[in-house]
Structure 1
Amino acid sequence: MGRKLARTLQLGILFSVVLFGYTVFSDQEFAKWQTNFRYYAQQHGIKDATLDTAFRGLLIDKKVLKLDTYQPEFSRPVWEYMDSAVSPERVEQGRYVLKQYAPLLKRISDIYHVDIEYIVAIWGMESSYGQQLGNYSAIRSLATLAYQGREERRNFWRTQLVAALRILQSGDMPSNNLRGSWAGALGHTQFIPSTFEEFAVDFDGDGKRDLRASIPDALASTANYLAQSGWQQGQPWGTEVVLPVTFDWMETEPANWQSLNYWSAQGMYRVDGTALEDSPTLRAAVIIPAGYRGPAFLTYPNFNVLLKYNNAISYALAAGYLAERLKGGLEVQAAWPRNEEPLSRLEKAELQERLSAVGYSTDGVDGTIGPNTRAALRRWQADTGFPADGYATLEHLKLLREQTALPRMLEAGS
């Protein structure tokens, strides 16, 4: 019984030390970290008074640490993301917002040359038009992450914490307004502190840039961000297209920019049946976010600007479609492959490992289907007889399991 009790106590201690994927440190260690951070912050222009105000009674936010280490087993399919992001309710509310803030939006658009529907779409995507601003203390969240978050990201969080302290020190946003997402994003359109410093503007003329308390500041700052990122007013983000039956799936890559004339010459046209513009200079890329069985989209330079706001294909696609729906445009016309089961993160890692094992290197195994993995998958698909769309499915993984099982069986029998 004594050994069992000792083992139970050991397990209890271990569970308290390694909890939810992060290491739990003592209050003394956090105090030591704060002392070291104060010196670092002072070297970057933060005054003692600001640090005293920000760090008074500061405690670690364990909920933030759980969210930082949480990685969902299954990624959300793009069609589920679109269903939520461009829901009928969000479209209806967005059209109301367009009318409610029409004079303000016109003034912002006239100054920054960004289409009002895209400003409103990002507002809807980021905070449901101000209904979900988030209530985490940015200082507490960023201090927690800089001290005890994932090690490879701590320098990033430390930089964001210093930026948040500069915002506080400047008087732009008081501490009670420095609240937002668990990761420190602020205001109606969720700027991280370093983005705030670079792009936030005082549009209401009160001498402060407050993205939580001032809707004019938040929307104008968003327009400024898009404008500085290369937004082309009056140009669409892209369009849904129909691909010819002879289309080379290797061409479906976000980085494969070609002229509209190039795509037209291959027999591509808009989903409504109309031809693409006759343009030898306007460049576009074809994406198929659900593989060859799903819709295809021709994306223009403004799509890349949306990606700068949030570097996820599903986000940029949803923001573009929400803006188009606010204008009265159509929903996605082609059917999504809704019966397709998404791969889990572990299954994606297994797919990477097995691709590499059969001679199609993915340059690492991380459970994320990035450009290197898509390129390797395309080569394997082409050699195996699948459409080379770079979209990973359970069918692919099952075949790769069969392909990699044979050598192992032979090795075991030798």
Structure 2
Amino acid sequence: MDDAIACRTDALAPPAGVRFDAPSRRALLAGGLGAMAAAGLGGPAWGQTSTYEFAQWVQVFKPRATANGVRGEMYDWVMSQTQPDTKVFEFDKSQPEVQEPIWRYLNRRVNEWRINTGRERVKQYAELFGRIEQVYGVDRFMLCALWGMESAFGDVAVNTKWMRPVIPCLAALAWGDARRRSYWEQELINALIIVDRGWATPADMVGSWAGAMGHTQWMPEVWLNMGVDFDRDGRISPFGKPDDALAGTARYLVERGKFRRGETWGYEVKLPPTFNAGLADGKLIKTVAQWKALGVTRVSGDPFPRDADQARLAVPAGVKGPAFMYLQNLFALRSYNPSTKYALAIGHLADRIRGGGAFVQPWPTDERQLSLEEAQELQTRLTQLGFDTGGTDGRVGDKTQAAVQAWQRSVGMTPADGFPSDKVLKRLRGG
């Protein structure tokens, strides 16, 4: 990833009434994060659809920002030094050539380094995790696993190989992305409010091209509305000590994800030979007791601790792969990133950090994964047949899997497990 640095913060003093932490600012500036971008970034850019040049847009947007709580002098101070990071348009439109199968996704993320480092972090920050558990009830192992997934336990939070100054990215997207302009405009305003409150300088705000920052990759809206001053230093920050980041993320999981204290994310389960795979669609909700009555058991042989829990069954790689019982806390994790693979990876990493083992049932690695073009073809054919895949971009998510399963049922294809294999595409083609 190229480093397109597009904001200086040392050219002007901040407006009166705003005090920044000087050591933090110096550390980031020394790392080159305050350098001005190359000339010319303010002109029309690849993917840019605004009718204004960037400098004009800055003035046009100012009344919107000030009406939402950004002081005019702060806006002028920040935006007069900002040039749009136009690389964001390339990142936004780029797609992987091949859809990553779930077993590869999990293997790459639930690896020995994350497991071992997670165990070290749980011990290192035992007191902090204990306080967070007491206040929010979020299990330390799940919270630590999320931390490991989001930033490798903080290792990449300000790494310029992967992270970029956020305000130039958000400014570029608010200016030039017509598709989601209102979203980016609001996130830019949120970032400016954070600066206005004195919680960070523009140079402090380093993150992904889409604006996620710090230990647990907060968007500005999350920083602003879910952040917690857990270390009581007078400001909220997702950087530096992990206290605020982890506590704010726990608060998010509870308030927005409805995380349930004292419960796990789910279990790997064993389905009986005669089980109707169509019930394992990840949507049908039954109590644990009702699933047990249908012959579902834990692969470990241990009993389910609470029969009254609401649960769903899923076979994300088809019936040849592992089967899972998802509880509410998996969906709490999914609220942080709307991907079931992501939530499952965090749940499994949490179990491994806790001392648990790998999944028992092997993944069907002999199943050939569809290429991007094949996945797009599969989605197009399903859409033409009236099955909603949520788009034809080649990214196979929950909607595509649900569409595959519905089509399988309609044609009597068994098992109707929703797995988008090459066999499904061949049948769609009439083969």
Residues 86 and 169 in structure 2, CA contact (< 8 A), matched pair in contact too: no
Measured after TM superposition, the shift of residue 173 of structure 1 is: 1.9
- Residue aligned with 1:402, SS: coil
Q: Determine which of 125, 129, 153 is the counterpart of 2:180.
A: 153
For 2:379, the equivalent position in structure 1 comes to 352
- Residue aligned with 1:152, SS: coil
For 1:132, the equivalent position in structure 2 comes to 156
For 1:198, the equivalent position in structure 2 comes to 225
Residues 382 and 389 in structure 2, CA contact (< 8 A), matched pair in contact too: no
Residue identity opposite 1:190 in structure 2: Q
Q: Could you say which structure has the larger radius of gyration? A: 1
1:106 paired with 2:133, answer: no
Cα separation, 2, equivalents of 1:234 and 1:345: 41
Measured after TM superposition, the shift of residue 372 of structure 1 is: 5.0
Alignment of 1:286-305 (within 5 A): 286-305=313-332
The unaligned stretches of length 5 or more in structure 1 are 1-15, 404-414
For 1:70, the equivalent position in structure 2 comes to 94
Identical residues among aligned pairs (%)? 37
Measured after TM superposition, the shift of residue 369 of structure 1 is: 4.1
For 1:9, the equivalent position in structure 2 comes to none
For 2:299, the equivalent position in structure 1 comes to 271
Q: Write out per-residue CA displacement over residues 102-137 of structure 1, whole angstroms, 9 at most, x where no aligned residue.
A: 112212221222111112111111110110114311
For 1:31, the equivalent position in structure 2 comes to 55
Residues 387 and 406 in structure 2, CA contact (< 8 A), matched pair in contact too: no
For 1:45, the equivalent position in structure 2 comes to 69
For 2:290, the equivalent position in structure 1 comes to 262
For 2:423, the equivalent position in structure 1 comes to 395
The worse-fitting range, judged by mean Cα deviation, of 366-375 and 245-254 is 366-375
Alignment of 1:213-224 (within 5 A): 213-224=240-251
Residue identity opposite 2:375 in structure 1: K
Cα separation, 2, equivalents of 1:243 and 1:234: 26
Measured after TM superposition, the shift of residue 257 of structure 1 is: 1.3
Residues 252 and 285 in structure 1, CA contact (< 8 A), matched pair in contact too: yes
Measured after TM superposition, the shift of residue 373 of structure 1 is: 4.0
Residues 94 and 120 in structure 1, CA contact (< 8 A), matched pair in contact too: yes
Residues paired across the two proteins, number:
382
1:335 paired with 2:374, answer: no
User: Measured at CA, do residues 298 and 34 of structure 1 come closer, stay the same or move farther in structure 2, by a change above 3 Å?
Assistant: same
User: Measured at CA, do residues 346 and 118 of structure 1 come closer, stay the same or move farther in structure 2, by a change above 3 Å?
Assistant: same
Residues 293 and 337 in structure 1, CA contact (< 8 A), matched pair in contact too: yes
Cα separation, 1, equivalents of 2:420 and 2:406: 12
For 1:318, the equivalent position in structure 2 comes to 345
Residues 360 and 380 in structure 1, CA contact (< 8 A), matched pair in contact too: no
| Alignment RMSD (CA, Å) | 2.2
Cα separation, 2, equivalents of 1:363 and 1:264: 31
Cα separation, 1, equivalents of 2:102 and 2:389: 25
Cα separation, 2, equivalents of 1:33 and 1:161: 13
Cα separation, 1, equivalents of 2:174 and 2:45: 18
For 1:381, the equivalent position in structure 2 comes to 408
User: Measured at CA, do residues 129 and 138 of structure 1 come closer, stay the same or move farther in structure 2, by a change above 3 Å?
Assistant: same
Residues 141 and 182 in structure 1, CA contact (< 8 A), matched pair in contact too: yes
The unaligned stretches of length 5 or more in structure 2 are 1-42
1:362 paired with 2:400, answer: no
Residues 360 and 379 in structure 1, CA contact (< 8 A), matched pair in contact too: no
For 1:115, the equivalent position in structure 2 comes to 139
